[in-house]
Structure 1
Amino acid sequence: MVSLETPVCDFGQAAPDFALPGVDGKLWRRDNCKGDKGLLVMFICNHCPYVQAVRERLVRDTQELIALGIGCVAIMSNDATDYPEDSFDNMRRVAEQFGYPFPYLFDENQAVAQAYGAVCTPDFFGYNADLGLQYRGRLDASRKETAPADVRRDLFEAMRQVALTGRGPAEQIPSVGCSIKWRTA
């Protein structure tokens, strides 16, 4: 398992469009996921310990961001053939178990992860109302273990700032996680 760090935020980069199936049986596009104040695109999966460590916090933070006008969506782009824990059926099970308040989408051919430049799980892309990138950092100080309850909520604070001002913070700490499990050619 390779741990990777996300690149620095490329402020203003446009959010690529997508059309992906959700565990709810719907086909979701980028613009269906967007809120009035912006969009948070999260690349996550089921088996990664970095994601498992923050699932409850993802639910808490996205519920609060949705209330602030930030639409939220999670995309699973791992090769589910080699990683059956990340299968569509298991995605549905995890989304129900944790009560995901956001669409959980399957990027089976990995084209959306490639379009976004996603490198790891979790990988967060925070956009403003104009769908310009404003945040490419971590959720919080959690790694493979959940950080203490009182740590700074980096992602939430950044996206709250985006909702209020349209701009993300200049200083951002990269997210760390498991590499996306790319299909072999």
Structure 2
Amino acid sequence: MVLTASTMLSLGTKAPNFQLPDVVSGETISLDTFTDKKAILVMFICRHCPFVKHVQQELAQLGKDYLQSGLGIVAISSNDVKNYPDDAPELLKEMATELDFKFPLCYDESQETAKIYTAACTPDFFLFDSEQKLFYRGQLDDSRPSNGKPVTGKDLRSAIDAVLTSKSLTEEQKPSIGCNIKWKPGNEPDYFG
């Protein structure tokens, strides 16, 4: 595990399009799936990461709490499954089913979606407004697996509530921290310098 922080993509960046299979339904999910939504939350997660495991119940709860709100949510796993078999699509499907995710969990086999979003870690969150412009990127909250702080989702929930009510976000946006995305050998992105 390499502790990695979000890249903090520039606010206002247009949401990159993607087309990925949902591991549960098999349907192809893209930005067009969410054209009728007031906002879109793109989450990069995986199954094996202790940082994701620490917050996975809150991620499932987010999906339930915002189901009727106008927020579209998609989770994406981009890890190299050859070296990290716990993140294979069939096991991601088990995770989504066990946690009762109310949003698609997609598998990014080529890792190109992670790259175009400049995703760096799991979990990594990107929240876009009704014009599909980046409104928030960063952490779920201040909780980490070993710091004893409760998982509340307060940072991300505050951003979601603001974007859904067309308010500005005044709080500082702190990067998410987690395991690095497990890039296939030779496929590492160049945005790490």
Secondary structure of the residue that 1:15 maps to in structure 2? coil
Which residue in the other structure is 1:107 paired with?
108
Deviation per residue, 1:59-105 (Å, 9 max, x gap): 11232233221100000000011000000110000000000111000
Secondary structure of the residue that 2:178 maps to in structure 1? strand
Which residue in the other structure is 1:180 paired with?
181
TM value normalised by structure 1: 0.93
My pick for the range that moved more, 140-149 or 124-133, is 140-149
**Preserved contact between residue 123 and residue 175 of structure 1 (Cα < 8 Å):** yes
Q: Which amino acid aligns with 1:100?
A: F
My pick for the range that moved more, 21-30 or 88-97, is 21-30
Which residue in the other structure is 2:190 paired with?
none
Which residue in the other structure is 1:6 paired with?
6
How many angstroms apart in 2 are the aligned matches of 1:62 and 1:34?
18
**Preserved contact between residue 58 and residue 153 of structure 2 (Cα < 8 Å):** no
Which residue in the other structure is 1:80 paired with?
81
Which residue in the other structure is 1:19 paired with?
19
CA RMSD between the two structures: 1.7
Gaps spanning 5+ residues in structure 2: where? Answer: 187-193
Secondary structure of the residue that 2:10 maps to in structure 1? coil
Q: Which amino acid aligns with 2:15?
A: A
Q: Which aligned pairs between 1:1-185 and structure 2 lie closer than 5 A?
A: 1-23=1-23, 24-145=25-146, 147-148=149-150, 151=152, 153-165=154-166, 167-185=168-186
What is the number of residues matched between the two proteins? 184
TM value normalised by structure 2: 0.89
The percent identity for this pair of structures is 39
**Preserved contact between residue 41 and residue 125 of structure 1 (Cα < 8 Å):** yes
How many angstroms apart in 1 are the aligned matches of 2:141 and 2:19?
29
How many angstroms apart in 2 are the aligned matches of 1:46 and 1:152?
19
Residues 35 and 119 of structure 1: is their aligned pair in 2 closer, same or farther, counting only changes over 3 Å? farther
